[in-house]
A and B are shown apart, each in its own frame.
Chain A
């Protein structure tokens, strides 16, 4: 039954992709309907008119778009249902589908871990399907055909869902590649710009290198057992060295998809160029599928995690978290900024996952469960708020045709609904109390603070430092999103486009983000619900659930014990409402002190202009100076001189470019090396047919010699 729901989700997303193909087939459909009615002339005339009117030029495309997204939304709902039902029933269902090669059926397994990620994907897809129809409306059909977008969106989503269902390495890789390649076409959707094509190619390249690493990882496991089913791989008895090699390969492969530093560079290139609802799915959900892969590989397939892996994850995660947010801070392109912030959040998740591994190998499974729970919870939260923020960015782009935050401003008055939704996203991602981001970060801190149980002195001092780095990350994220919200929505508008912007008309485009914002708030106030669902994941994966979670009831969160730490968001919310209510009521009681509006203080010079406001580079200037070593900063100030002796400054041009260290340090040397090797290989390609025949002959001789 549960599996039927999951299959429905996959099939529906697939179907939505196929439906989108009908976009170019209006004429065929028209013919088909006419043929039908000629053949059955006595069928109801009412339907005839209905179908006829729906096939009219302008209505047809609109209706088809709605249908495609409705089917997609249905797929999302089924995914949520499947996920929740498996999480509640705590079942493991397995199945075989005889697709693919005849002697290699696809093995399917649906357990709590898959179910939880089904839930994440389902929520994200539902939100996107509400948002989609209005958003894709803006694309000109000639230049950006909807058939392509819809088809690959459907394939992309079904690929992600299939990855979660896969129970053998072949099926896993097929689904993984389906997901990667379909998303490549989505990134390359607006291929008329050379930069977009370049970004898409970079993405494809890194996705494939990552896939190679994953295949090798599976290969290492498979060489210690027979067969590629996950059941067989679980049985593999690895020496600790081989297990570590498999882990490193998996970390590289899944980490490339997840976007950890230094293999993150495709993220800030690919996310800004994809359509917004696609970047929402890629950033919010696809990165989580990579996380799923890593968890499945380490905890389930290898089975016995080692604490050094935890240390590796902790260090890599810390570097990613800090690097991601510091780079995000310097961006002016909103979607690029959000992409870097995804690197940060993935880093946080990896850190906590590392803690969980460390505790697991040191014989503290309940703390490992806490760490895993915190990591998965943060993954869930990140899916919600990053989706919300990307959809919000799409709304802003849709209304202002602007993605540069230095050109925005004052949108809070022009787009009031969007601004509220975006504010909730910013507050969640800055991990402020009462919102969901805070809960998972709180759990992460609680995990880190349990370090006292460890025996190893190095670990005991490493983990608190990582916790402090987490605190720095959170504080920098708050600064970054104050900048984002402040520059986009507050102040005065810095460009004409923003001046003329207005709230979006399409209700669905607001409903999608509103759904996500509501969930952000809900899971911030009642985290117990999510933790209840997550507990079954931990139970199945580690054989250990959180100890005390229900001892204090649903109102409280007490991960270790009530004495050690507890947090009750509903009570905090009530207290906040009381405090705000009293102060509000007390201060507003006197009607004589109604507000008066006046011009703002302009230091007596008169006339504040939008250009006097702080810009992105001005806002982040102190941090740029403090952490100067983190970026490659290219700052240029040119002065136009005039007047007698060329002494007066007429105008100043300021240019700032911030580059990523990983390009010159890692990628350019690699590219150089590949080029050099290619040149060496090129030497044997003389272009002379006689030489090539000679090569064939020598090869033949050697083969014959080997065989005999």
Chain B
């Protein structure tokens, strides 16, 4: 039953990810006084891409062809770890939060290699920048996550979230720092403004898009879907770790339904915040990113220290 529940939750993750992307786009369009596409547009795009004949560069190797499948599966695996509508998942035990970060690293490794495979300058540029940014983001991310895991004394996400849930609403300084650190990292890792802009193909600023320029058809669909999933994953992480209320603790139909509604509401709200910040903030220069990420790291560190100094049991 638990395993079925975990599988169902993962499917839900994959199914809802394009909707979140659509909602985000809708919010941004409204904020910028443009006419918004339908909320279902990402689904249509994905469907269209899967039914198209992919065009692959002549010199592409096998690695280029299997990379999208690997990227997608690694991201889906990361999604199995994160509790979406209910806690107490068996999959959270088979891979904890460090493994989840590892899955992201796995996907990124192959994405960067695929960018280098064709041998165009764009691909190399994208790979180089992506690996740079991610290697700065990963310590900041783990610092924020460690603050949480040390407070809950577990790296199992399900148990950590139930821990926060059972403790009730306590305003802990360490959590506030960790929350902001995680938000900054999430923006960098999912390639949003101000670090990267998913809507542009301007060569000097591209990061994520530069790596996947050569992909088309079903390969592109998988990669797009994976990045939508990643966005949603970070959203769910932030929502469920720091504001877990509403998540189902039992597997009753009512609790699950309520959990689904709660997480959708939380994600919708987060997306609105993200849309507002993307509308207000301009993209920054590439070499400002390290300042941004070291700020995130600093916040994570402050969170950790305030946990150790102020909150720990002794």
Contact = CB atoms under 8 A, between A and B. Distances in A.
A614 B98 contact: no
Interface in B227-265: none
Interface in A448-477: 449, 451-452, 455, 457, 460-461, 464-465, 467-469, 471-472, 474-476
A57 interface: no
B102 A490 contact: no
Contact of B131 (A449, A478, A587): A478
Given A449-B149, A587-B218, A614 B116 contact: yes
Given A478-B131, A482-B131, A602 B120 contact: yes
A600 B155 CA distance: 44
Contacts of B112: 482, 486
Classify the interface of chain A: helix, strand, loop or mixed. Answer: helix
B282 interface: no
A674 to B, nearest CB: 40
A434 B70 CA distance: 13
Interface string A405-441: 0000110110000000001000100111110001000
A594 interface: yes
A433 B308 contact: no
Contacts of A592: 53
B286 A622 contact: yes
B105 interface: yes
A486 B106 CA distance: 15
B94 A567 contact: yes
A556 B94 CA distance: 7
Contacts of B95: 433, 567-568, 571-572
B255 to A, nearest CB: 23
A521 to B, nearest CB: 14
Interface string B100-123: 001101101100110111111101
Contact of A474 (B106, B108, B127, B138): B138
Contact of B138 (A475, A571, A598): A475
A430 B109 contact: yes
Contacts of B124: 486, 491, 613-614, 618-619
Interface string A553-591: 000100000111111100110011001100110010010
Contact of A614 (B109, B128, B300, B301): B128
B72 interface: yes
Interface in B266-314: 286-287, 290, 297, 300-301, 304-305, 308-309, 312-314
Nearest to A592: B53
Contacts of A457: 308-309
Interface string B58-88: 1111110100011011101100100000000
Nearest to A474: B138
A469 B60 CA distance: 36
Classify the interface of chain B: helix, strand, loop or mixed. Answer: helix
Contacts of B20: none
A482 B110 CA distance: 8
Contacts of B69: 580, 583-584
- Among A410, A482, A490, A584: residue with most chain B CB under 10 A: A490
Interface stretch (B22-30, B31-39, B139-147): B139-147
Contacts of B59: 410, 413, 492, 600
Interface string B35-60: 00000000000000011111111111
A41 B28 CA distance: 99
A32 interface: no
Given A619-B127, A626-B290, A487 B116 contact: yes
A245 to B, nearest CB: 32
A596 B55 contact: yes
A625 interface: yes
Interface in B120-137: 120-121, 123-125, 127-129, 131-132, 134-137
Contacts of B117: 412, 486, 490-491
B143 A464 contact: yes
A568 B96 CA distance: 9
A600 B118 contact: yes
Contacts of A438: 99, 102
A612 B118 CA distance: 11
Interface residues of B, number: 89
Nearest to B222: A583
A676 to B, nearest CB: 43
A593 B99 contact: no
Contacts of B73: 576, 579-580, 583
Contacts of A60: none
Contacts of B50: 587
Contacts of A571: 94-95
A601 interface: yes
A479 interface: yes
B9 interface: no
Given A409-B119, A475-B139, A492-B119, A596 B77 contact: no
B69 to A, nearest CB: 5
A619 B131 CA distance: 9
A48 B91 CA distance: 68
Interface string B208-221: 00000110011001
Contacts of A489: 61
B135 A464 contact: no
A565 B96 contact: yes
Nearest to B218: A587
B93 A568 contact: yes
B120 A613 contact: yes
Contacts of A449: 146, 149-150, 155
Contacts of B65: 595
Interface of A: 409-410, 412-413, 423, 427, 430-434, 438, 442, 445-446, 449, 451-452, 455, 457, 460-461, 464-465, 467-469, 471-472, 474-476, 478-479, 482-483, 485-487, 489-492, 556, 562-568, 571-572, 575-576, 579-580, 583-584, 587, 590, 592-602, 608, 610, 612-614, 618-623, 625-626
Q: Which 10 A-B pairs rank lowest in CB-CB distance, beginning with the nearest? A: A614-B124, A486-B116, A491-B119, A475-B135, A479-B131, A600-B57, A579-B73, A475-B138, A433-B102, A568-B94
15 contacts: A431-B102, A442-B98, A478-B108, A482-B109, A486-B113, A490-B117, A567-B96, A568-B93, A572-B99, A593-B217, A597-B57, A597-B58, A600-B120, A613-B120, A626-B290
Given A478-B105, A478-B109, A596-B53, 11 more contacts: A412-B61, A433-B105, A474-B138, A475-B137, A478-B108, A486-B116, A575-B94, A583-B69, A600-B214, A620-B128, A625-B287
